[in-house]
Amino acid sequence: MTDELHIVGIQADLFWENPVENLAYFEKKINSLPENTDLIVLPEMFTTGFTMNVEKVAEEINGNAVSWMQKMAIKKQIAITGSLIIHENKNYYNKLVFVHPSGKIETYIKRHSFTLAGEDKVYTSGTKKLIITYKGWKICPLICYDLRFSVWIRNIENYDLLIFMANWPIKRIKAWDTLLKARSIENMSYTIGVNRIGIDANNYNYSGNSLIVDYLGEEISSLTKNEVGIISATISKKTQNNSREKLGFLNDMDSFSIHN
């Protein structure tokens, strides 16, 4: 168990539907990170951008991208997570893959498909929340549009860290900033949100605005609009637990169940 966790998010302009270029880019960035890094968060669909052309770019779970993630995690002895397009059981998924330093993988399928862009017509939605245990931390990883749905995110598992990866357009970036802080506050959880930048082939413009906030919604690390780079922070479970015990907000939450 580790009291402190050093987390990093990489904000990048993704190469459209080009896994080879994207993997090369992220490998260079990862190799430049400090040796004390524990966890790296990549954007949503980090190998392709937010595309509906699944037959062109989808991979199997044992394909090149996930193998690359495993190679990097083992080599650097860090955890790496990001989402990508996975073809499995005759379905296409926007699937988050979390790779441990051992190479072990855990996966989460995006629960809330972005209907405004027709994601629901191409991708099959998930039904199960994932809670990962890593170095004694309980981590809840989620994808983009999930951020809008507080009931799905509610901290009934007593997790310590929320992860959001996204291709969140600039025209709704105020919601991204506001909701990341709201989710951290209502769940008393550290939160990292990693978004892409640039303009994709569909002419959607992304500004990034990646950030890390603490369990009270205070910004720890952030990037300005359209900036290539990283966000990073060393977060403390002891400090978080002390605040949770002192304030007691999570003790007063409502009980509920979700029906699929």
Range of the domain at 148: 4-252
Q: Going residue by residue through the chain (260 aa), what tens digit of pLDDT does each one get?
A: 789 999 999 999 999 999 999 999 999 999 999 999 999 999 999 999 999 999 999 999 999 999 999 999 999 999 999 999 999 999 999 999 999 999 999 999 999 999 999 999 999 999 999 999 999 999 999 999 999 999 999 999 999 999 999 999 999 999 999 999 999 999 999 999 999 999 999 999 999 999 999 999 999 999 988 999 999 999 999 999 999 999 999 999 988 888 77
Measured CA angle at 212 (ends 207, 213), to 5 deg? 120
Measured CA angle at 113 (ends 203, 207), to 5 deg? 35
> Which residues are known catalytic residues?
44, 110, 144
pLDDT of residue 93: 98
Residue 240 within any structural domain of the chain: yes
Q: Are strands 91-99 and 79-88 parallel, antiparallel or unpaired?
A: antiparallel
Q: Are strands 161-166 and 137-143 parallel, antiparallel or unpaired?
A: parallel
Amino acid at 78: I
Residue 257 within any structural domain of the chain: no
Residue 182 within any structural domain of the chain: yes
Number of domains in the chain: 1
Residue 232 within any structural domain of the chain: yes
DSSP 56-106: HH-B-TTSHHHHHHHHHHHHHT-EEEEEEEEEETTEEEEEEEEE-TTS-EE
State the CATH number of the domain containing residue 8: 3.60.110.10
Q: How far apart are CA 211 and CA 180, in angstroms?
A: 9
Residue 258 within any structural domain of the chain: no
Residue 109 within any structural domain of the chain: yes
Residue 192 within any structural domain of the chain: yes
Residue 217 within any structural domain of the chain: yes
Q: Are strands 219-222 and 211-213 parallel, antiparallel or unpaired?
A: antiparallel
pLDDT of residue 229: 96
